[in-house]
Amino acid sequence: MGSERILVVEDEKDIRELIVYHLEREGYEVLQANNGLEALSLMKEKSPDLMLLDLMLPGMDGIEVCRAIKQDPLFRDTCIIMVTAKEEESDQVLGLGLGADDYVTKPFRPRTLMARVEAVLRRGKLRKEQRQTEGLLKHGPLQIDNEAHEVLAGGHRVLLTATEFNLLSFLTMHSGRVFSRGQLLSRVIKDALVTERNIDVHIRSIRKKLGEHRDLIQTVRGVGYKMVRCE
C-alpha cells in the first residue's frame, strides 16, 4: 500500500474505471490511458512504478507497448502486469518472453488484482534496491555510481571523462593493490592508441578534480598507481 504511481492502460471505459476505483481506494496514485501511444507518452512524462496493460488496444496493442517499454533503459524499473481477455492469450503472451512481471485474465476479482499489484510492486522495489546497492561503490569520501556514471567526493559531484571514470572506478574496486600503467592500459583503457604516458595524464586530471581528496590515488614509484585503502 502506498503512494506508488500506477498507469492503467485500457480502452474499455467501464473496466478502466473499475480498476482505477479499486487502486485509488488502496491509496495508489493512478494515471489512465486508453491507447498505446497515450500510454507511452504518460510513461515518459510521469514514469509510473507499475503499468496495468490491456492486451487488446486500438492501434498499437499491448504487446507492442510492452516491448517498447522493456527496450528502453529509462523504464527498466517499471513493472508491467498484462491484462488479457482469455487464458490462452496469457499463455501466448507469456511465450513471447516480453518481460512482463505478471498476467491477469479478465474477468478478474478486484481483490485478486490488488494482491497481484501489491506483490509485483514489492518485487520491483526489491529488485531496484538490489540493483542500486550493486552499482554503488562507497570508499572513504568517494561514492561511485556505476549505473549513473557519477562520482561524489566528500558529497560534491566530480565531473570525469569516461576514461577517468573507468580508471577511478577500477582502482577503487581493487583498492590497496598497485597496478602498473601497462595493466591499467590493458584492463581499463583497452585502446591500442593510448600509451602509458596517457595514463599519467588521466591520473593527473582525476587528482586535480578530486581536489582535497587527491591523495586517495597514490603513485608507487617504479611500479604504478593504487587507490589507498579506506576503513
DSSP state of 75: G
Least separation in angstroms between CB 38 and Ca ion: 13
Least separation in angstroms between CB 27 and Ca ion: 26
Nearer to Ca ion, 9 or 121 (CB): 9
Whole-number Å distance between alpha carbons of 180 and 183 = 5
Nearer to Ca ion, 56 or 68 (CB): 56
Least separation in angstroms between CB 13 and Ca ion: 10
CB atoms within 10 A of CB 176: 10
Query: What is the residue whose three cell numbers read 517498447?
Result: 68
- Binding residues for Ca ion, per CB under 5 A? 11, 54, 56
- Chain CA centroid to CA 127, Å: 9
Give the HSE-up count for residue 117: Cα atoms under 13 Å, Cβ half-sphere.
32
Q: Which residues, including other chains, have CB under 8 Å from residue 14's CB and lie 6 or more apart?
A: none
Whole-number Å distance between alpha carbons of 1 and 117 = 10
Nearer to Ca ion, 35 or 175 (CB): 35
Least separation in angstroms between CB 97 and Ca ion: 22
Nearer to Ca ion, 8 or 189 (CB): 8
